[in-house]
A and B are shown apart, each in its own frame.
Chain A
């Protein structure tokens, strides 16, 4: 009876000890992760500070506006390319007409 009581007291103490172990491990992992995140945060803050030396509007509306401008310009360039091709075709037609005319009539 007496020995059983002593054993019970020891077991209770040991079970409490066992519970602290995993929590400590979790805490250590979380602290290491926090340290890494803080370092990452500091690096990003440095980058952000360096980048903000050049003032620039970076809102989503600005990105949307620029994207639209780029798309419009691409469409416009396509039109200009087509116009250039048409002008080159006109020149080629004139050259071809001249060559054909000379080829046909120089033989006579």
Chain B
């Protein structure tokens, strides 16, 4: 009897154990299925994240590139403006060279040489340079007065006086010793001297007017720069305009000095009595 009861108990235990195992297997299967679903969902979310990240990254790249482009465009505009400013300095520099040549010519008037050789080979004793024009000098020497064309100058004189460099300006003469008649052409020299004096005044007037026109142009440019500064430009533009304004102010000061000197020279020239 006890053996039967025990056998029944075993059978009941086996049945319960089998049922529980079936339940556990089913539960395990559900867990696995759920795991697969979660992993699939994660893959989907990850792909969406990748997609959105890619879009944001491309947007960021486009923004960065657009900013770089704008900066580079500004830089190019600034550089081109700087080139214009550098080019604008050129006339003043050229004018500086012309002024230097004029100054040296002025210093040359009155220079004395024990012996001055011309390219023609004829040495002039006790030579005194009385007048210098763009292509001619008047030399007083022991035998008289000679007017030497640029083609006759020796290399040193050519390098010093730069013939042709100031073709549109007046000749420089020693006020204390006005040019005397030329020994090689005595006839008609007086009228020629008067004509030359008139031409000098005219040349000086034209040169002064040109300088005044240049000064007016520079003042216009300065006013324009002031206006641009008052119109609230961008920082880079403001920097460029301020640089330009400073340059114009410097050029105007130099030009005013030149105009003033030219006006003085013109007044002196006009005050001189014309040759007979």
Complex CA distance for A58 and B61, rounded to whole angstroms: 8
Complex CA distance for A106 and B25, rounded to whole angstroms: 113
Interface string of A54-72 (1 = CB under 8 A from B): 0011111011001101100
Q: Which residues of A contact B38 (CB under 8 A)?
A: 27, 30-31, 34
Q: Which residues of B contact A83 (CB under 8 A)?
A: 83
Is B82 a contact of A5 with CB atoms below 8 Å? no
Instruction: Check if B158 is an interface residue, CB within 8 A of chain A.
Output: no
Interface residues of B in 34-64 (CB under 8 A from A): 34-35, 38-39, 41-42, 45-46, 48-49, 52-53, 55-56, 58-59, 61-63
Size band of the B side of the interface?
Answer: 35 or more
Is B31 a contact of A94 with CB atoms below 8 Å? no
Which of the candidate stretches B91-99, B195-203, B252-260 sits at the interface with the other chain? B91-99
Is the contact region of chain B dominated by helix, strand, or loop, or is it mixed?
helix
Q: Which of B6, B56, B90 contacts A51 (CB 8 A)?
A: B56
Instruction: Check if B79 is an interface residue, CB within 8 A of chain A.
Output: yes
Q: Which residues of A contact B17 (CB under 8 A)?
A: 9-10, 12-13
Is B104 a contact of A23 with CB atoms below 8 Å? no
Is B73 a contact of A84 with CB atoms below 8 Å? no
- Supposing A10-B17, A30-B38, A101-B100 touch, asked if A94 and B79 sit within 8 A by C-beta, the answer is no
Q: Which residues of B contact A5 (CB under 8 A)?
A: 10, 14
Instruction: Check if B261 is an interface residue, CB within 8 A of chain A.
Output: no
The total of interchain contacts (Cβ-Cβ below 8 angstroms) comes to 154
Complex CA distance for A56 and B86, rounded to whole angstroms: 40
Instruction: Check if B262 is an interface residue, CB within 8 A of chain A.
Output: no
B156 vs chain A, min Cβ distance (A): 9
Q: Which of B10, B55, B87 contacts A2 (CB 8 A)?
A: B10
Is A70 a contact of B72 with CB atoms below 8 Å? yes
**Residues on A close to B: CB < 8 A?**
2, 5-6, 9-10, 12-13, 16-17, 19-20, 23-24, 26-27, 30-31, 33-34, 37-38, 40-41, 44-45, 47-48, 51, 56-60, 62-63, 66-67, 69-70, 73-74, 76-77, 80-81, 83-84, 87-88, 90-91, 94-95, 97-98, 101-102, 105-106, 108
**Residues on B close to A: CB < 8 A?**
6-7, 10, 13-14, 17-18, 20-21, 24-25, 27-28, 31-32, 34-35, 38-39, 41-42, 45-46, 48-49, 52-53, 55-56, 58-59, 61-63, 65-66, 68-69, 72-73, 75-76, 79-80, 82-83, 86-87, 89-90, 93-94, 96-97, 100-101, 103-104, 107, 111, 160
